[in-house]
Amino acid sequence: MVGSTVDVNISQKTLSFAEYLEYSGKPGVLYELDRGQLIEMPTTTGLHNLICKFLTVEFLRHLVSENLNLVAIDLTGVRTEENTSRIPDVVVCHQSFWKKVCERKGAAVLNFDEKPLLVVEVTSQNWRDDYSTKRAEYDRLDIPEYWIVDPERSRVRLCSKIAGGSSYAERDFLPGDEVKSAQFPGLILPVARILDPPDVDYLVREELRLRQELEQLERQLNAERQRAEAADRRAEAERQRAEAERQRAEAADRRAEAERQRTEAADRRAEAERQRAEQLAQYLQALGIDPDTIN
């Protein structure tokens, strides 16, 4: 719940839902519509704002990580009855619903056919409304999950629709517990962190710092990978050069072997010629002819 309903009626005139959507009140002030009566929402506390911002960011983080076509938004109206519109602190709904709301003129309110999947109220002075009136309205509207974050009582009450059940089933989570969403099983948040949340701006800066460190590490790893790939290319070039040298050496060996074989063949031919010359000389000598006198 955004604030208290102590200052209930700011106008005695009963408004229709259409008139409420076009109503222009005090600058910077939000109004709920309670069966045709405008209710001014007082300024919230710092802790209230911290809790809302923290939950919105955590819901968004989960929706993005799960690649769900859903959005988490704060201070958006939800029409619960014909002339009633509540303003939960956080709403999770389909992106298409939120797009339709943004395209319409007037107050940002989800209509009956744009039912949220989850709503959150952070209690303040009118905590009874969150536990009773609004709980009943969200239950009748068949919103699957309703969180009541109660800093005063140090607890988070989770109201969820159980399969086959006609109304909300409740479970309280206390400091030391973790709230486990029934609608989004992967969404788990420590109660202590919800009730005493860190500054979301700090979280954003810290995430940015970690992202920058990760990007720098990735750049370093990429540079190392490129250096390793360059070294691999150089090693492959050296291997190819060595292989070329080996092939050239083998070709030189083959040429040398061929030359040796040609030399040996020439030697054999020369030896054969010499032997034939000796045989011829012996034959001539046997005939009484001096081979040296033959021109």
Q: Which of 3-12, 58-67, 214-223, 245-254 has the lowest mean pLDDT?
A: 3-12
Residue (of 191, 196, 151, 195) closest to 174 by Cα position: 191
Looking at the fold, whether 228 and 152 belong to one and the same domain comes out as no
Report the amino acid identity of residue 143. Answer: I
State the chain's mean pLDDT as an integer.
88
pLDDT band (50, 70, 90) for residue 156: very high
Looking at the fold, whether 159 and 77 belong to one and the same domain comes out as yes
Residue 7 lies in a domain: no
Residue 12 lies in a domain: no
Please give the pLDDT value at position 127. Answer: 83
Looking at the fold, whether 235 and 165 belong to one and the same domain comes out as no
For residues 47 and 65, give the distance between their C-alpha atoms in angstroms, rounded to a whole number. 27
Residue 15 lies in a domain: no
Kindly report the CATH number assigned to the domain that includes residue 165.
3.90.1570.10
**Residue 95: both structure tokens together:** 């992106």
Looking at the fold, whether 165 and 250 belong to one and the same domain comes out as no
Looking at the fold, whether 156 and 227 belong to one and the same domain comes out as no
For residues 264 and 84, give the distance between their C-alpha atoms in angstroms, rounded to a whole number. 115
Please give the pLDDT value at position 3. Answer: 42
Please give the pLDDT value at position 12. Answer: 61
Residue 50 lies in a domain: yes
Tell me the three state secondary structure of residue 5. Answer: coil
Residue (of 60, 54, 85, 84) closest to 190 by Cα position: 54
Q: pLDDT tens, 97-145?
A: 999 999 998 899 999 999 999 999 999 877 888 999 999 999 999 999 9
Residue 224 lies in a domain: yes
Q: Find the DSSP H helices in 66-198.
A: 95-103, 127-131, 133-140, 191-195
**Residue 237: both structure tokens together:** 């070039």
**Cβ atoms of 15 and 33 closer than 8 Å:** yes
Greater model confidence, 283 or 33: 33
Looking at the fold, whether 176 and 50 belong to one and the same domain comes out as yes
For residues 203 and 252, give the distance between their C-alpha atoms in angstroms, rounded to a whole number. 72
Residue 206 lies in a domain: yes
Residue 19 lies in a domain: no
Looking at the fold, whether 169 and 229 belong to one and the same domain comes out as no
Please give the pLDDT value at position 166. Answer: 80
Greater model confidence, 218 or 187: 187
Q: Which residues span the domain enclosing 216? A: 200-260
Looking at the fold, whether 186 and 221 belong to one and the same domain comes out as no
For residues 160 and 140, give the distance between their C-alpha atoms in angstroms, rounded to a whole number. 12
| Apex 242 CA angle, 240 and 246, nearest 5 | 115
Looking at the fold, whether 145 and 180 belong to one and the same domain comes out as yes
Looking at the fold, whether 69 and 97 belong to one and the same domain comes out as yes
**pTM assigned to the model:** 0.68
Looking at the fold, whether 204 and 245 belong to one and the same domain comes out as yes
Task: Among 151, 180, 198, identify where a domain stops.
Answer: 198
For residues 118 and 93, give the distance between their C-alpha atoms in angstroms, rounded to a whole number. 7
pLDDT band (50, 70, 90) for residue 8: very low
Q: Return the H-helix or E-strand segment holding 18.
A: helix 17-22
Q: Which of 34-38, 71-75, 199-203 has the lowest mean pLDDT?
A: 199-203
Task: Among 198, 225, 252, identify where a domain stops.
Answer: 198
Average pLDDT over residues 218-231: 88
49 has a pLDDT exceeding 80: yes
Task: Among 198, 221, 240, identify where a domain stops.
Answer: 198
Looking at the fold, whether 51 and 74 belong to one and the same domain comes out as yes
Domain count, the chain: 2
Average pLDDT over residues 9-21: 79
- CA 226 to chain centroid, in Å, comes to 26
Residue 110 lies in a domain: yes
**In 107-133, which positions are buried (b, 16+ CB within 10 angstroms) versus exposed (e)?**
bebbbeebbbbbbbbbbbebbebbbeb
**Residue 287: both structure tokens together:** 């005939």
Tell me the three state secondary structure of residue 44. Answer: coil
